[in-house]
Amino acid sequence: MKNNPQFLIVHHTGASETNPKEDTSHHTFEIVNAWHKKLWNFKSSLGHYIGYQYFIDKTGKVTQGRADTDEGAHTLGKNLSSIGICLAGNFDVTEPTKEQVEALKVILKAKMSQYGIPLKNVVPHRQFANKSCYGSKLSDEWVQNLLKVKPVPTPDPVPSNGAIVDEIKTHLQAVDTLLGKIK
């Protein structure tokens, strides 16, 4: 079955099984790939086992694990209608690096435009699962806020010619009044 991307689902690598507070930001593509091979042994058309289409390590390096059209193994019920993107780290306890966030924005923008995916369909894993993924330190809106264009501040209105003429008249009247007083 071919994946037909309608959602962009963002994940973190999360805690280890034994320690919910473990910082997993050092996890690499290879580590997660080996883990998922052990879990599911579900090979992608690119020859990897990692369940996500894209993996972003803490330096911001992006590695593709599955083709966009490959079935994913990251979000139950959405693996044939989404692209999974995972950031290394446990965002229940830490936050993503600047480099990760920049790389994430690039992928999200590219895939939104490539597949016509609306902003409302760019979501954390927890929207579809009873878990904290992409981490409780990041709000539900965090990922969509990354993609919103900041409004450009409106400049002060430039006075119209009429307003300038009125201002000059007022000044001239003031000068007249002064001259009147001097006479």
Which residue has 């209608």 as its token pair?
A: 81
Per CB under 5 A, 58 contacts Zn ion: no
Residue 183 CA to residue 168 CA, distance in Å, equals 22
Where does this chain touch Zn ion (CB under 5 A) — which range of 10-18, 26-34, 148-156, 174-182? 10-18
Tokens of 136: 């409780």
Where does this chain touch Zn ion (CB under 5 A) — which range of 48-56, 58-66, 104-112, 121-129? 121-129
Per CB under 5 A, 11 contacts Zn ion: yes
Q: Smallest distance from the beta carbon of 76 to Zn ion, in angstroms? A: 10
Contact by Cβ (8 Å): 142, 97:
no
- Strand 54-56 and strand 82-87: the pairing is parallel
Per CB under 5 A, 122 contacts Zn ion: no
Q: Of the two residues 44 and 82, which places its CB atom closer to Zn ion in the complex?
A: 82
Residues 6+ apart with CB under 8 A from 79: 3, 71, 72, 73
Q: Given CA atoms 147, 150, 151, 155 in this order, what sign does their dihedral have?
A: negative
Q: Smallest distance from the beta carbon of 11 to Zn ion, in angstroms? A: 3
Per CB under 5 A, 36 contacts Zn ion: no
Per CB under 5 A, 133 contacts Zn ion: yes
Per CB under 5 A, 123 contacts Zn ion: no
Per CB under 5 A, 125 contacts Zn ion: yes
Residue 66 CA to residue 54 CA, distance in Å, equals 7
Residues that bind Zn ion (CB under 5 A): 11, 125, 133
